[in-house]
Structure 1
Amino acid sequence: MNSDSRPAPIENDEPRIVRETGVDARVASIIEPVINSAGYRLVRVRLSGMNGLTLQIMAERADGTMTVEDCEEVSRMLSPLLDVEDPIDRAYHLEVSSPGIDRPLVRLSDFAKWRGQLAKIETSVMVDGRKRFRGTIVDLSGETVTIEADKANFGEAMVAEVPLDAIADARLILTDELIRTALQADKAARQARGLETFENDDDTASDDAEAGEP
């Protein structure tokens, strides 16, 4: 594999429109400035009951790539920070991963990049009489994302304008077209970094952490 350079620090990163609450939000506030300074963007933080208790952190480079080595670097960077800040009062397992192909959509630029792809969106309030949407991303503005759903999804063809500030969760839906588009984009980005492109990485890195200890 060709040598890879460290990413440049990210300054004034585009804010996420889908954000965490509770402990997840506390963790995000601690780690986001640190990984930005190392050239990575935070995608999502989620504390789950998997394997006892798992802190899942999704991150990526500005170009959308995230290798196993990147995940390991971010994990090494965050483990001592989280030990010091101690935002979780129980033992947990730290897992750092790439967003994956059926990735969460958390920034306006995510919706713009994946326009034309199938997505599912959940809102925190009722929009057009519903809180769940599944359809193709067809348009977006500074305030709304337009989803076009077919009859197979909702029983009738419909177009919904979903306010960005009402979105609680959004992610792409895995389709053959999405796989082709995502792999092409990843290949181009990896070539630009001088990386080999034949790997089919499932990019994750993990570490065990004991919280609440001095």
Structure 2
Amino acid sequence: MIENTIKETVIRLAEPVVDSLGLVLWGVEIQRAGRMIVRLYVDTHPELRQTQGVDASPSIDQCEEISRHLGLALEVEDLIAAAYTLEVSTPGLMRVFFDLEQLRPYLGDIMEVKLHMPITLGQHNDTDVACAHRRLWRGRLAAVQDDFFVLEPVTVTAEGDVYPETLPPVSLPWATVRSVNRMHIFRRPVKPGKARAENTPPFN
């Protein structure tokens, strides 16, 4: 409960300065491994993204200005009793998503999804369809609906190749999602004269 209160307070205090800089709040994360980390993500306004591209990001100076204002405001509120570190950053290439609407501009991208509970795809008695029982899914984002999204399952190799799995698309209700982030695929160079181990050509 206290985490939700902290997140709501951070959003309330940060919104005025974020808006004044022409940016948008992307989300808030709280990590408790050792010293608490309160991390605020800010992003470029959607209208600017249409002209600058989906990977256009706020500047370091903008993040520092938000951090200064937010840090002072949190001290006045005195809500967080324990020692903590405040971070303000951009979502980046491997961005975490906080709601379904944020996913819509990223159709076709590869996502990594962690669920609260495993979901089973396929039937054990169906010889034509592979079966998977997973808490972790990786796939190409195929559709976004009101309360769920659809992934086309893929395998990502250590070399950075992406191969379709022999599985049908999986529908993942947003309520079952623990976390979802975009996977930026880094293609590892293949040494001269070394053929790929897989026979199936990867996605481009």
* Range class of TM-score, shorter chain: 0.5 to 0.7
Q: Does 2:43 match 1:60?
A: yes
Matched, 1:94 2:82: no
* Selected match of 1:75 from 34, 51, 67: 67
Amino acid at match of 2:170: A
Q: 1:172 is matched with which residue?
A: 182
- Distance between the aligned counterparts of 1:125 and 1:142, measured in 2? 21
In the alignment, which of 103, 109, 119 is matched to residue 111 of structure 2? 119
Amino acid at match of 1:143: D
Identity of aligned residues (%): 17
Which structure exhibits the higher relative contact order, with contacts defined as CA atoms closer than 8 Å and separated by 6 or more residues?
1
Deviation at 1:109, TM superposition (A): 2.6
What is the CA distance between 1:117 and its match in structure 2?
Answer: 0.5
**Secondary structure at the residue paired with 1:58?**
strand
**In the alignment, structure 1 residue 148 sits paired with structure 2 residue 152:** yes
Q: CA deviation at 1:164?
A: 1.4
Q: Judge conservation of contact 2:26–2:98 (CA < 8 Å) in 1.
A: no
Task: Evaluate the alpha carbon distance shift between residue 66 and residue 24 of structure 1 in structure 2; reply closer, same or farther with a 3 A threshold.
Answer: farther
Counterpart mapping for 1:121-140 below 5 A:
121-128=113-120, 129-140=133-144
Question: How many matched pairs?
Answer: 155
Query: Does the 8 A contact of 1:116 with 1:137 survive in 2?
Result: yes
- In 2, distance between residues paired with 1:135 and 1:102? 14
Taking structure 2 as the reference length, what is the TM-score of the superposition?
A: 0.66
| Structure 1 residues 155 and 138: CA distance shift in structure 2, 3 A | closer
Q: Secondary structure at the match of 2:96?
A: coil
Over aligned residues, Cα RMSD in angstroms?
Answer: 2.5
Matched, 1:26 2:5: yes
Deviation at 1:165, TM superposition (A): 1.8
- The unaligned stretches of length 5 or more in structure 2 are 50-56, 121-132, 157-162, 188-204
Mark the structure with the bigger radius of gyration: 2
Compute the displacement of 1:122 (Å): 1.2
Partner of residue 95, structure 2: 103
Q: Which runs of 5+ in 1 are unaligned?
A: 1-21, 178-214
Cα pair distance change 1:97/1:48, threshold 3 Å: farther
Q: Check conservation: 1:150, 1:158, Cα contact below 8 A.
A: no
Within 2, Cα distance between the matches of 1:46 and 1:56? 6
Specify whether residues 35 and 171 from structure 1 end up closer, same or farther in structure 2 by C-alpha distance, changes over 3 A only.
same
- Give how far 1:151 is off: 5.8
Residue 113 of structure 2 aligns to a residue in which SS? strand
CA distance in structure 2 between the aligned counterparts of 1:172 and 1:89, rounded to whole angstroms: 33
Return closer, same or farther for 1:155/1:137 CA change in 2, 3 Å cut-off: closer
